């Protein structure tokens, strides 16, 4: 056919690195359709849960480490939480904080925990329980205090032992705000983890 440039019928010619090249006409990409309501909702769920888990990344890395087979602890936590992690308030999708879990394991949680805020301190108490392999007086508690409006949090790691039956935590930085509180126990050597327990929502009055 000889040298050819530009469009001829259903093909187009050009010179590439000194060679004459004939190719099909380029197809224009179609504009993407607007995302459906279901796609937007799925995207919102993905963003909400991913953001929360990334904010408490350090807790998730420890709490879901034993649950990992072929992915990361954060991915395992995402999969575990996804089906229970959301509620709708009117038309607004929000996280279902009482159902969220950042740690899983065999170590037992606190027995009948109670939560109270008083004079700048978050007071958590629980009852004594029978000793077993996964319920030892030496088990250490970790408490998460999460303030959703500002995406702010404080982690109190190994603040007390199960045998203490209570702990008081200074949370002055959250005064005037609403916070969610969680607790979980782990064995003293850190080898075994427990399931995180939602303690409640507290309004920190001035």
Q: Please, are residues 183 and 193 in contact by the beta-carbon 8 Å criterion? A: no
Question: Token pair of 182, please?
Answer: 């969680």
pLDDT above 70: percentage of residues in the chain? 83
- CA proximity to 173, closest of 130, 128, 204, 133: 204
- Residue 68: the pLDDT is 81
Q: pLDDT tens digits, residue range 164-187?
A: 999 999 998 999 999 999 999 999
Give the chain's radius of gyration (CA, Å): 27
Distance CA 65, CA 77 (A): 10
pLDDT band at 129 (very low <50, low <70, confident <90, very high): confident
Mean pLDDT, rounded, of the chain: 87
> Cα 98 to chain center, whole Å?
13
Domains and CATH numbers, the chain: 35-101 (no CATH), 105-206 (2.60.40.10)
Q: Which residue is it, tokens 């807790």?
A: 59
CA 125, 129, 134, 139 torsion-angle sign = positive
Distance CA 139, CA 131 (A): 11
Question: Token pair of 38, please?
Answer: 């279901």
- What is the pTM assigned to this prediction? 0.81
Question: Token pair of 37, please?
Answer: 């309501």
- Residue 205: the pLDDT is 80
Q: pLDDT tens digits, residue range 21-67?
A: 666 655 656 556 677 767 777 888 899 999 999 999 999 999 999 87
Who contacts 191 (Cβ-Cβ below 8 Å, separation ≥6)? none
pLDDT band at 2 (very low <50, low <70, confident <90, very high): low
Distance CA 122, CA 33 (A): 50
Q: pLDDT tens digits, residue range 56-96?
A: 999 999 999 987 877 799 999 999 999 999 998 888 889 99
Q: Which residue is it, tokens 């959250």?
A: 174
Distance CA 128, CA 81 (A): 29
């Amino acid at each position: 056919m000889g040298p050819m440039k530009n469009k001829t019928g259903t093909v187009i010619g050009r010179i590439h690195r000194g060679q004459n090249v004939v190719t099909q006409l380029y197809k224009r990409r179609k504009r993407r359709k607007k995302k459906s309501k279901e796609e937007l909702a799925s995207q919102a769920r993905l963003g909400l849960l991913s953001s929360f888990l990334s904010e408490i990344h350090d807790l998730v890395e420890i709490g879901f480490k034993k649950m990992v087979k072929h992915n990361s602890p954060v991915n395992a936590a995402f999969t575990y939480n996804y089906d229970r992690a959301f509620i709708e308030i009117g038309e607004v999708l929000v996280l279902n904080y009482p159902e969220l879990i950042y740690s899983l394991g065999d170590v037992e949680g606190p027995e009948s925990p109670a939560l109270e805020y008083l004079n700048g301190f978050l007071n958590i108490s629980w009852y004594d329980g029978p000793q077993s392999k996964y319920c030892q007086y030496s088990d250490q508690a970790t408490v998460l205090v999460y303030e959703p409006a500002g995406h702010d949090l404080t982690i109190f790691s190994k603040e007390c032992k199960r045998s203490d039956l209570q702990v008081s935590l200074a949370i002055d930085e959250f005064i005037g705000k609403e916070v969610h509180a969680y607790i979980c126990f782990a064995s003293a050597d850190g080898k075994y983890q427990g399931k995180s327990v939602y303690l409640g929502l507290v309004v920190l009055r001035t």
